[in-house]
Amino acid sequence: MINSVDLARTARLHAVKMVHRAKASHIGSALSMIDILAVLYSGILDTQPGRDDRDRIIVSKGHAAVGLYAILAETGFFPVEELDSYGQPGSRLLGHVSHHVPGVEVSTGSLGHGMPIACGLALAIKQCVVCIVGDGELNEGTTWESALFAGKHSLTNLTVIVDHNRLQGYGDVDEILGLGSISKKFAQFGWSTVEIDGHNHDQIRNALATNQTRPNLIIAHTVKGKGVDFMEGSLDWHYKSPNTEELANACRQLEAA
Amino acid sequence: MRDALIQAVIEVAKTDDRIWLLTGDLGYSVLEPLRDAIGCRFINAGIAEQNMTGVAAGLALAGKIVFTYSIANFPTLRCLEQIRNDVCYHNLPVKIVAVGGGLAYGSLGYTHHAVEDIAIMRSLPNMTVLAPGDPNEAKSCLRHAINCPGPTYVRLGKAGEQAIHSSIPDRIDTPIEVLSGRDITVLATGGGLSVAFQACKKLTAEGVSPRLLSVPCLHPIDLTGLCGPIVTVEDHGIGGLGSIVAEHVALTHVDAIVKCVRLHGTPTSLTGSMSQLQNAGGLSEETVIAAVNGLLSRRKYLNVA
Ligand SMILES: Cc1ncc(C[n+]2csc(CCOP(=O)(O)OP(=O)(O)O)c2C)c(N)n1
Ligand SMILES: [Mg+2]
């Protein structure tokens, strides 16, 4: 079993360095979900590539790719050095999650595609299918179409984790469309739901360990930009890339964590 | 290009209160001046493009002129049937604006490359398809979009494009002459324009005399009189400008030979800037020059002007 806290810290450091070098966006989105990924890839699921009976993880919020790439490299899917190629010409580490990268099940980047694919997989296989979605991403109609489908087909091996950081592309999730109670909505669609602190590894692990008789929704309360104080809760860091001083500051904070 | 268009929308919207804009949760640090200028006629419809497009149709049914705004394929392919049935079939003034046409979003990858959009949009009834090649054309396109009574698709690049025209073209409904020449006609659109422009300048230096026409309005299009050796240049795959010109030749039986410089269409799985990916996809100054020289050498054996 990998220590998920160490894994998360290392992955955060990789992620900030990668977006700095590539002058890329979406660091806030990556830091928001790294704890969830660190627990998922710490050994509680069997995601060995190539095996038909592996568990599947789909990162539907494909813009947060650096977080996933860092975790995949650190858990042995490809060499850690390859992370340096992010943003460089010819690299397969594209700005949105790419299935050409070892360990990645499906390419994403257009929001609202992950849940329907996860439903299909969960219908076809017995293993666990976990899908991570953004809270803004829940705006998409496909969310609710697949929520109905999963409820109707009792996809008990399906777990959807909402990275509930309350920010989306152009403002606050609560203001733009006002999601209200995500829990109550999904419960109405026949899901079992649980709300957790999305940065508390024990809570993440426990939520994933519970055996359900219905499709599972984990609402992970998170902070966009988690771990770097000037990025936390700020829409700017959906877009900005840290400059040299900001990177040094971010690394200092992440190393001390 | 994006900023030129937004500025132009603001100017019109200040005096024309029929104008609304719905965004699909995009426009951070771009749309704020517009939002401030038009108040409640600006709505962030959320990450929900199908609904956004249907709502735009409803507003338009009630007499509004409605812009929908997003990036790449999200305001077009994601809500294609809403565009086809609700907007186009009812011939409503919904103006779809997509930022990041072609490979402008380079390293963001395949999901963010709009390389089939022209083909798909121009096949829909009543749709006008515009793909400006520089910021001045973008302003002119906006004027054209507002004046044309029905559905319009405006495909933009991103920001910082080189100006090809020294002023805003008066009209864009027919191809605009950028360079006059007598040996061959080069037609270019969208992100293909700057590539074609550079290539034509090199060709001129080599003693070839290419005529360069920019085609910001792809559909409907009147290509009357177009004949002889023709090269088309675009940051798009099957069904775009090259196909439009080939259809013109096939349907009118004019004497012409056409070579298309366009993206070959294999999805890229590797990182690259816009121009790197254009090169890899078959669109570069070199491929334009080779196409022109290839046609000119063949012309000797062919019975065309
Ligand atoms: C279909 C679609 N529409 C719009 C976008 C542009 N976009 C990328 S990220 C984003 C905001 C996502 O917010 P959220 O789902 O809350 O993810 P977070 O970054 O907050 O984790 C938007 C609108 C997209 N990628 N796909
Ligand atoms: Mg969010």
Ligand 1 pocket member B105 (CB < 6 A): no
As for how many domains chain B has, the answer is: 2
Query: Average pLDDT for residues A31-51, to the nearest whole number?
Result: 95
* Averaged pLDDT of chain A: 97
CB contact under 8 A, A141 and B50: yes
Q: Are strands B65-71 and B42-44 parallel, antiparallel or unpaired?
A: unpaired
A193: left (phi over 0), alpha (psi -120 to 50) or beta: beta
Pick the residue of A85, A88, A106, A170 with the most B CBs within 10 A to test the interface with B by mutation. Answer: A170
| Proportion of chain B above pLDDT 70, given as a percent | 98
Percent over 90 (pLDDT), chain B: 93
Q: Does residue B18 share a domain with residue B125?
A: yes
Residue B300's pLDDT is 65
For the segment B184-210, the average pLDDT, to the nearest whole number, is 98
Q: Tell me the pLDDT band of A87, cut-offs 50, 70 and 90.
A: very high
How far are the Cα atoms of A14, A66, A80, A88, B274 from residue A18, in angstroms, in the given order? 6, 7, 12, 10, 20
B171 lies in some domain? no
State the residue for tokens 């109609």: A141
Question: A1 pLDDT band (50/70/90 cuts)?
Answer: confident
pLDDT tens sequence across B116-172: 999 999 999 999 999 999 999 999 999 999 999 999 999 999 888 999 999 999 999
On the question of a cis peptide bond just before residue B132, with omega within 30 degrees of 0, the verdict is: no
Angle at B47 (CA atoms; ends B45, B51), nearest 5 degrees: 55
Residue range(s) defining the domain that contains residue B236: 176-299
Q: Residue B187: its pLDDT value, please?
A: 98
pLDDT of amino acid B265:
85
- B271/A contact by beta carbon, under 8 A: yes
Average pLDDT over residues A182-194: 97
Check A168 against B269: CB less than 8 A apart: no
Q: B15 and B151: one domain?
A: yes
B214-239 tens-digit pLDDT: 999 999 999 999 999 999 999 999 99
Rounded Cα distance between A219 and A208, Å, is 11
CB B210 within 8 A of CB B264: no
**Could you give the number of structural domains in chain A?**
1
- What's the confidence (pLDDT) of residue A211? 76
Name the residue with the closest Cα to ligand 1, atom 19: A29
Give the domain CATH number at A150.
3.40.50.970
Give residue A231's pLDDT. Answer: 98
- Asked if residue B108 and residue B28 are part of one domain, the reply reads yes
Higher pLDDT, B160 or A248: A248
Q: Does B302 touch chain A (CB under 8 A)?
A: no
Q: Is B224 on the interface with A (CB under 8 A)?
A: no
- Domain extent at residue A8: 4-256
**DSSP for residue A170:** S
How high is the pLDDT of residue A73? Answer: 98
Place of tokens 């599947």: A56
**Residue A131 banded pLDDT, cuts 50, 70, 90:** very high
Residue B37 and residue B124 share a domain: yes
pLDDT band at B210 (very low <50, low <70, confident <90, very high): very high
Residue A212: pLDDT band (50, 70, 90) is confident
Mean pLDDT computed over every residue of chain B: 95
B139: Cβ contacts below 8 Å, ≥ 6 apart:
B4, B5, B7, B8, B168
pLDDT in tens, B9-65: 999 999 999 999 999 999 999 999 999 999 999 999 999 999 999 999 999 999 999
Is the domain of B67 the same as that of B185?
A: no
Asked if the model's pLDDT at residue B304 lies above 70, the reply is no
Distance from CA of A46 to the nearest CA of B (A): 26
pLDDT of residue B303: 57
Contact A116, A86 (CB under 8 A): no
pLDDT reported for residue A170 = 98
Position B160 scores a pLDDT of: 86
- On whether residue B148 sits in a domain, the answer given is yes
Contacting residues of B for A91, CB less than 8 Å apart: 270-271
CB contacts under 8 A, A 126-185 vs B, are 136-137, 139-141, 168-171, 176-177
Per-residue pLDDT band for B302 (boundaries 50, 70, 90) equals: low
CB–CB of A171 and B44 under 8 A? Answer: yes
As a whole number, mean pLDDT of residues B275-290 equals: 97
Q: Ligand 1, closest atom to CA A96?
A: 25
* Sheet of B128-130, strand order: B42-44, B19-23, B65-71, B94-99, B152-155, B128-130, B217-219
Stretch A7-36: mean pLDDT? 98
Q: Of the residues B29, B44, B47, B53, which should be mutated to test ligand 1's pocket, given the most ligand atoms within 8 Å of the CB? A: B47
Confidence of residue B247 (pLDDT cuts 50, 70, 90): very high
Q: Tell me whether A201 touches chain B (CB under 8 Å).
A: no
Q: Cβ B26–A169 below 8 Å, yes or no?
A: yes
In a domain, residue B304? The reply is no
Q: How many CA atoms lie within 13 A of B144 on its CB side?
A: 27
Query: In chain B, whose CA is at the least distance from the CA of A235?
Result: B28
Q: With a CB-CB cutoff of 8 Å, which residues 139-198 of chain B face chain A?
A: none
ipTM for the complex shown: 0.96
Same domain, yes or no: B77 and B148: yes
Chain A hits for B270, Cβ within 8 Å: 89-92, 94
What phi and psi values does residue B302 have, to the nearest 5 degrees?
-110, 155
Is any ligand 1 atom within 6 A of the Cβ of residue A130?
no
Most A-contacting residue of B22, B47, B117 (CB-CB within 10 A), to test interface: B47
For residues B77 and B100, what is the distance between their CA atoms, to the nearest angstrom?
A: 14
What is the DSSP code string of A171-240? SBHHHHT----HHHHHHHTT-EEEEEETT-HHHHHHHHH---SS-EEEEEE--TTTT-TTTTT-THHHH-
Residues B151 and B235 in one domain: no
Predicted local confidence at residue B54, as pLDDT: 98
Tell whether ligand 1 has an atom less than 6 A from the beta carbon of residue A62.
no
Q: What is the mean pLDDT of residues B269-292?
A: 97
Are A177 and B28 within 8 A, CB to CB? no
Q: Is residue B165 part of a domain?
A: no
Are B124 and B241 part of one and the same domain?
A: no
Q: In this complex, is the C-beta atom of B278 within 8 Å of any C-beta atom belonging to chain A?
A: no
Across the range A235-249, mean pLDDT stands at 98
Tell me if A242 CB under 6 Å of ligand 1.
Answer: no
d(CA B94, CA B70): 14
Same domain for B236 and B273, yes or no, is yes
Q: Which of B155, B186, B216 is at the close of a domain?
A: B155
Question: Residue B229: its pLDDT value, please?
Answer: 96
- One domain for residues B203 and B134: no
A140–B47: do the CB atoms touch at under 8 Å?
Answer: yes
Residue B301: predicted pLDDT: 59
Are residues B103 and B222 part of one domain? no
pLDDT over 90, % of chain A: 96
Residue A143, Cα to own-chain centre: how many angstroms? 16
pLDDT at B103 > cutoff 90? yes
Q: Which of B283, B224, B303, B294 is nearest to B259 (CA)?
A: B294
B20 and B145 share one domain? yes
Smallest Cα–Cα separation from B194: which of B155, B235, B164, B217? B164
